[in-house]
Structure 1
Amino acid sequence: MSKPGQRVLAELRKMIASGELAAGERIIEIPTAERLQVSRMPVRMALRELEQEGLLIKSGGRGYTVRAVTAEDIAGAVEVRGVLEGLAARQAAERGIDDATREVLQGCLDEGDRLFEKGHVLLEELEAYHSLNMRFHRAIIDASGNRAIAEALARNDHLPFASVSSLAVDRNDLAREFRRFNFAHMQHHAVFDALVSGQGARAEAVMREHANATLRYAEYFLPQRQGVTVLQKG
């Protein structure tokens, strides 16, 4: 897909995840292109991709409808992600973590420690956490040496808020969000310790539990809560 198409795809995913495009809302190619200030072709490609991902349903004529997402949909996708990322952590621990991977993981931990040490966070700091969180997870998946895991995760991540590439944040309650993400960061420390110690079963168990924190996203979207911001990265 072209870069304009990728940008449109990311933007539409974000709009669906945030509720800006609500379940049941009809999306038509030309008005969407005008809204996003792009030509029709990248919109057409993005809409087809979103249909394949299960976020849109083909409706009459040339339009699409936003698919309704249930709590069960989110829970199922998150559980699958936990299994896959847990497998990646176990295999990475059993293979052994090389120096380059260890440096990336340690850098993520150090950055997170600095973010959370003052006892509160701002929204822009959670954006920084989002970036380091993605680096941490991707490093573990790469360290597993199992390409099938990354491919399976890509297919599973059709719900943006069930994917590590998206982060839902309640900007109206950053005190609670601090506790939630600080706990997730502590889980990163536990995973790292298991990885460098070669404890595959422990690394797998912590990563699976770590994924379950995403299940709280269901209360943000079903129904849509005011004040929720979706941080999205490709």
Structure 2
Amino acid sequence: MNENGVAAAYGGGPLPDAGMAGPVLAYSSIRAWIVEGRLRPGERLIEARIAAELKLSRTPVREAVRMLAADGLVVTERNRGAVVRSLGRQDVLDLYELRARLESYAAELAASRAAAGDIAAIDDGIRDFGRAIRRRDLDHLERTRLIGEANRRVHAAIIAASGHARLAHLLSSAVDAPLVFEALHEFTNNELARSNLFHQLIRDTIAKGEPVRAAQLMHEHIMQGRDRILRSLDA
């Protein structure tokens, strides 16, 4: 599977550092700002301002914006230029339904194909998710980053266990990273604990070779995130 693709989809992985090449640094930085909500939907991407903050020329920033447009995170509007894309209620419903169907299929396949190493990788992510939600020494953003990375690893391990490379590729574009991060950021502690309980239940059904139940649990788990986003939209 494409581990980097799944990492990008879920908004996980380390934040960029100053040693990265210009376009990569610009892309990683702007993407992180969009995923984490520093750049909000509908907000213009002003190349000169971003370049100054990142201490880069405008050329790598312009290239990064093109890459983000290809990812679907940025759109070009007449008389405004590049802006962070906005999603309406129907967009959220469509994205989550697609993701739920694809990832449920991944869980179903994993229940028939997972090896011991796959189960161990899922266990590692579940353990770190539990540790992250118990952290009280971090601010909310840093804690959500930790939770998000552990969540990415759980889902990436399940997708890897499916043994379906094409499905992994499809999921890398079907999972909307800003929505995933927003849901994790908005979840209460009880909702986060429930999310990790679903991880454990899905893991157990995969380990026991119960494909139908694994798919059902994954679908319900992903709808939990959808419902959190819809409540925020309605508010």
What TM-score does the superposition give when structure 2 sets the normalisation length?
Answer: 0.76
> What is aligned with 1:231?
none
- The aligned residue for residue 10 of structure 2 is none
1:81-230 equivalence runs, <5 A: 81-95=99-113, 97-114=114-131, 123=140, 124-157=142-175, 159-163=176-180, 168-170=184-186, 177-215=188-226, 216-220=228-232, 222=233
Measure the CA separation in 1 of the matches of 2:53 and 2:130.
40
Which residue identity lines up with residue 202 of structure 2 in the other structure?
V
CA contact (8 A) 1:81 1:153 kept: yes
Rate the CA distance shift 1:166–1:13 in 2: closer, same or farther, 3 A. Answer: farther
Contact 1:13–1:160 (CA<8 Å) still a contact in 2? no
How far residue 44 of structure 1 moved from its aligned partner, in angstroms, is: 1.3
Aligned equivalents of 1:108 and 1:130: distance in 2?
A: 10
- Greater helix share, structure number: 2
What are the Cα deviations for residues 58-82 of structure 1, in whole angstroms up to 9, with x where unaligned? 2457932333321221221122111
Q: Indicate conservation of the 8 Å contact 1:16/1:66, yes or no.
A: yes
Go from structure 1 to structure 2 and tell me whether the alpha carbon gap of 1:125 and 1:63 turns closer, same or farther (over 3 Å shift): closer
1:177-217 CA distances to partner (integer Å, 9 max, x unpaired)?
21111000100111011001100011111111111122112
Residue 75 of structure 2 aligns to a residue whose secondary structure is strand
Aligned mates of 2:42, 2:199 — CA distance in 1:
38
The structure richer in strand per residue is 1
Partner amino acid, structure 1, of 2:221: H
**Number of corresponding residues:** 213
Q: Distance in 2 between matches of 1:79 and 1:3?
A: 37
In 1: Cα distance, 2:221 partner to 2:137 partner? 20
Larger displacement relative to structure 2 (198-207 or 41-50) = 41-50
The answer on 1:71 being equivalent to 2:89 is yes
1:121 positional shift:
8.9
4+ residue runs over 6 A deviation:
118-121
Instruction: Say if 1:24 and 1:66, in contact at 8 Å, map to a contact too.
Output: yes
For residues 69 and 35 of structure 1, what CA distance do their matches in structure 2 show?
Answer: 27
SS in 2 for 1:128: helix
What is the rounded CA distance, in whole Å, between the counterparts of 2:43 and 2:149 in structure 1?
31
Shift of the 115–50 alpha-carbon distance from structure 1 to 2, 3 Å rule, reads closer
Work out whether residues 29 and 63 of structure 1, in 8 Å CA contact, stay in contact via their aligned partners in 2: no
Equivalence for 2:56: 38
The residue number in structure 2 matching 1:229 is: none
Residue of structure 2 in register with 1:25 after alignment: 43
- Alpha-carbon distance, 1:113 to partner: 4.5
Q: What is the TM-score when the length of structure 1 is the normalising length?
A: 0.76
SS in 1 for 2:185: strand
Q: Which moved more, 1:122-131 or 1:82-91?
A: 122-131
CA RMSD of aligned residues (A): 3.0
Give the letter for the 2:174 counterpart: N
Unaligned runs of 5+ in 2: 1-19
CA gap of 1:35–1:167, structure 2 versus 1, over 3 A, is: farther
For the 8 Å contact 2:41–2:84, the answer to whether it is kept is yes
